[in-house]
Amino acid sequence: MNTGDKQLEALDRLVGTWRVTGGSEGTVTYRWLDGGFFLIQDIDLVQDGHAVKGVEMIGRERPFGGEPGEDVKSRYYGSQGETFDYVYEMAGDTLTIWGGEKGSPAYYRGTFDGDSVTGAWVYPGGGGYESNMTRVK
């Protein structure tokens, strides 16, 4: 993949299938849409006894006729009709996923170490949960 977009290409280390443990349990799979401008995450988790299934499209917004947006954004589409928006940032081995907009008080921060990512979701008011991933393929 060579889109010339270093921020987006930094997410290539997510490609593959991961076992998720912590506050949610199950698997997620990341794959590139042809062309390499969008990373797709397929989600199959259980959280608090409830199935969490959906798909997330990760990339830069590019309105018709416009230039690509500044941030790498995503939208999650869930099997219960819910949608969530995020901003992805990769700095070295640290992945931050901001809930809504960059700088939000709700975010995930995880650190890569080979085929594992250790981190947690942080919510305003002290909430959140541990969320770790181990690559299975």
Rounded Cα–Cα distance for residues 26 and 133 (Å):
10
Nearest to 92 by CA among 1, 4, 10: 10
Lowest mean pLDDT among 36-40, 68-72, 110-114: 68-72
Q: Assign residue 80 a region: left if phi > 0, alpha if psi is -120 to 50, beta otherwise?
A: alpha
Residue 22 reports pLDDT greater than 70: yes
Nearest to 30 by CA among 60, 54, 56: 56
Residue 95 reports pLDDT greater than 90: yes
What pLDDT was estimated at residue 65? 87
DSSP state of 34: T
Q: What is the mean pLDDT of residues 17-33?
A: 97
What pLDDT was estimated at residue 36? 93
CA contacts within 13 A on the Cβ side of 116: 6
Q: Is the pTM of this model over 0.75?
A: yes
CA distances from 8 to 20, 59, 84 (A): 22, 7, 19
Mean pLDDT of the chain: 95
Rounded Cα–Cα distance for residues 83 and 98 (Å):
15
What pLDDT was estimated at residue 1? 63
Q: What is the mean pLDDT of residues 53-65?
A: 94
What pLDDT was estimated at residue 51? 95
Residue 69 reports pLDDT greater than 90: no
Q: What is the mean pLDDT of residues 8-19?
A: 96
100 confidence band (pLDDT: 50, 70, 90): very high
Q: What is the mean pLDDT of residues 98-124?
A: 97
CATH architecture assignment, domain 6-135:
Beta Barrel (2.40)
Residue 3 reports pLDDT greater than 80: no
Domain boundaries, the chain: 6-135
